[in-house]
Amino acid sequence: MTEIAVTGAAGRMGREVLAAAADRADIDVAFAVNRTPVDERIGGVVVESSDNFAELLDDYEPSVVVDFTGPESAVEYAADCADHGVALVTGTTGFDSDGLGALQAASESTAVLKASNFSRGVAALRLAVQEATAALPDADIELTETHHNAKRDAPSGTAKALLDDIEGVRDDLTDRVHGRAGEAPRTDDEIGVHARRAGDIAGEHEVLLGGSNETLSLTHRAGDRSIFAEGALDAAEWLAGREAGWYDFFEVIEG
Ligand code: NAD
């Protein structure tokens, strides 16, 4: 049984995590917090104010904190986790270099697993994109991601991970071009990046590789957010009890 705490409990992902945890025999929720208090039980759990987060860590001693909030708050939670020796799984996206540095600093004192996407399908997409990029070294590459209309960061964390993957294979692609307007012919060194926002779409990513007389399109569509919650709980179970360090979701999948 892995004891977890959940931050951002009243958010879209926090609710999914609590709902998924309620259905799993291997996970117990020690406590859940949200920045703004909510007068309801979510997944059977009382949601407390995040103001008391450090005290709650002392009182309940969870093994892992599962965080889906925003970059500023995730960094604060990471520091508290480091102080208390509690492992952190964060799915929060949109960190700047300072935020990433703060997470990495926390990983010197506790186990930290950060993933911009907890879907196993997206993990498979990333591997497929690396293979396809290597197999089609002259292809023009365009990436399109689509999310719900309340998403704050663009392009998505998953899109950035895919771009890093592509650039890791193709070092001639050095220019990320975010949308095009007006006179904007394509150059050989660019990857086009397009972020669409509409309705309540959970997340779609398409990588298009275009060559002469053939195109290859690799697409992942999340049916709903429960896949991310299940992946994050798998990561929490895997991370519990591990030594301080920086971990990623591929290690969870590989077991
Ligand atoms: P949301 O806006 O619905 O929820 C965020 C929640 O965090 C809100 O309830 C908000 O009140 C709370 N919050 C913010 N700051 C807080 C603080 N300081 N203390 C406590 N609670 C705080 O957003 P969401 O759709 O749930 O997404 C959250 C994050 O997770 C985003 O960065 C998003 O990109 C990311 N995300 C990641 C994955 C993945 O698989 N890694 C999947 C979906 C979303």
pLDDT in tens, 149-170: 999 999 999 999 999 999 999 9
Q: What is the pLDDT of residue 39?
A: 86
The closest residue, in CA terms, to atom 18 on ligand 1 is: 73
Using alpha carbons, select from 76, 66, 67 the residue that is nearest to residue 98: 76
d(C-alpha 72, C-alpha 205), whole Å: 25
Distance in Å, CA 213 to ligand 1 centroid = 42
Which of 69, 77, 126, 233 has the most ligand 1 atoms within 8 A of CB, as the residue to mutate? 69
Where in the sequence numbering do the catalytic residues fall?
147, 151
pLDDT tens digits, one per residue of 70-87? 999 999 999 999 999 999
Q: What is the pLDDT of residue 158?
A: 96
Distance in Å, CA 219 to ligand 1 centroid = 24
**Could you please report the per-residue DSSP string of 22-64?**
HT-TTEEEEEEEESS--SSEETTEEEEEGGGHHHHHHHH--SE
pLDDT tens digits, one per residue of 215-244? 999 999 999 999 999 999 999 999 999 999
Which of 6, 7, 13 has the most ligand 1 atoms within 8 A of CB, as the residue to mutate? 13
Q: Do residues 246 and 107 lie in contact, with contact meaning Cβ atoms separated by under 8 Å?
A: yes
Burial of 41 (0-12, 13-18, 19+ CB in 10 A): exposed
